[in-house]
Structure 1
């Protein structure tokens, strides 16, 4: 397993969260969906703008308000055609729903709340196309409200640049190390951290350009020298 750097600790994450709150304000979790709805939304959301994936999700449930009908549908790719990789996502979505139908024909996934986070993640990740980001999203962002940190591409980039994980860390490693660093944080705490870090990645610490002069956490960033000279480190 890839190891964290020596300063990885709860107080580091609290400092990061507090600095981001000062910049962006407190982040309230969005309205929670049923677990199956959140699973579907998460399966089609990867590397896609939120407004685009939300529109695709709404088309799906407008055309197929019953999950069993969606599982048998042949036009999923057409309905989600504006997300990235719609063919791959449509394939995984159909296969995942079909697999759920075998064991849970009512598509009620609330039983996951009784398994505990590790077992619930494992159950979900046996479904086609479901990795750690989708499984954590299903547990945390749904009505289950289970404490699982959602690591998307923005957050993985920030954690790597900031030095919390090594530059070649994957989503699962980033998840494991973050969860180990914040024992006792609630689903709401982790959801807020996700939203705040995602905003940082969308606006300041972007993939194509890191605006380190404006970054509220640059003072502790390990990758700072890669983006700008040391003389421009902001105070605070």
Structure 2
């Protein structure tokens, strides 16, 4: 098992180096701000979800006011994201549960909990699974060392053979996180950004451009012409 982790760590480190440097966000959202942004981001283009988040901030100011708002009103504010009504209901319910449990929205306790406990606490909230919980812990001011895996990142990891074709976001996140115990939160965020960009621009779902991929020499799918199977 230890040897397997060593091979996995060498693979990830090599891929990160070949993908080249990425610029990390200069400013991070608070944990609750990142939670809100992540809940409304699923299956929605980054520019669309970012604009919707900005409208929430402009319209409600903060999570307390948002938690007291009817989901129908929130849905109108974020109306151009996918599944706006469902996301609005989940968002309001999650914020109300946080207020009831914590008496506020700072979520400071997530900085000190064991990583697994912090993820589980978040995943008990409505609308929160591993992608959202990892993003809340890693991409926020908490900077916790956990891998964020979205659709694009998971596709790249599957094609590389790092996770099985049937793996989900949780499996991908846990595999990369376990492989790199010495990485900082910024290391994981940089790898996430690099893999996401690769998946969006090169390792596309419908037409992977394997000839342009810096990871192709290690990729079993590239050897099969880009297919997963």
Alignment of 1:22-37 (within 5 A): 25-37=21-33
Alignment of 1:51-130 (within 5 A): 51-74=47-70, 75-130=73-128
The 1:150–1:228 alpha-carbon spacing in structure 2 relative to 1, beyond 3 Å, is closer
Secondary structure at the residue paired with 2:15? helix
Contact 1:125 1:131 in 2 (8 A): yes
Cα separation, 2, equivalents of 1:126 and 1:228:
37
Task: Please tell me whether residue 151 in structure 1 is matched to residue 186 in structure 2.
Answer: no
Secondary structure at the residue paired with 1:227? coil
| Corresponding residue for residue 10 of structure 1 | 9
Cα separation, 2, equivalents of 1:30 and 1:148:
19
Contact 1:29 1:191 in 2 (8 A): no
Secondary structure at the residue paired with 1:11? helix
Scaled by the length of structure 1, the TM-score of the pair is: 0.90
**Count of aligned positions:** 222
| Corresponding residue for residue 169 of structure 1 | 167
- What root-mean-square deviation, in Å, do the aligned CA atoms of Structure 1 and Structure 2 show? 1.7
Secondary structure at the residue paired with 1:216? coil
Cα separation, 2, equivalents of 1:224 and 1:26:
24
Contact 1:155 1:198 in 2 (8 A): yes
Greater helix percent: which structure? Answer: 2
| Corresponding residue for residue 202 of structure 2 | 204
Cα separation, 1, equivalents of 2:184 and 2:97:
30
Cα separation, 1, equivalents of 2:106 and 2:5:
42
- Hey, which bits of structure 1, 4+ residues long, moved more than 4 A? 5-8
Unaligned runs of 5+ in 2: none
Unaligned runs of 5+ in 1: 230-236
C-alpha deviations, 1:19-68, integer Å up to 9, x for none? Answer: 100xxx33324421111101000100111111110100010111111312
The 1:6–1:166 alpha-carbon spacing in structure 2 relative to 1, beyond 3 Å, is farther
Cα separation, 1, equivalents of 2:6 and 2:109:
37
Cα separation, 2, equivalents of 1:6 and 1:140:
22
Contact 1:27 1:196 in 2 (8 A): no
C-alpha deviations, 1:98-134, integer Å up to 9, x for none? Answer: 1111012321111110112111111101000100010
C-alpha deviations, 1:169-205, integer Å up to 9, x for none? Answer: 1111111111111111100100000000011011100
Contact 2:34 2:136 in 1 (8 A): yes
The 1:228–1:42 alpha-carbon spacing in structure 2 relative to 1, beyond 3 Å, is closer
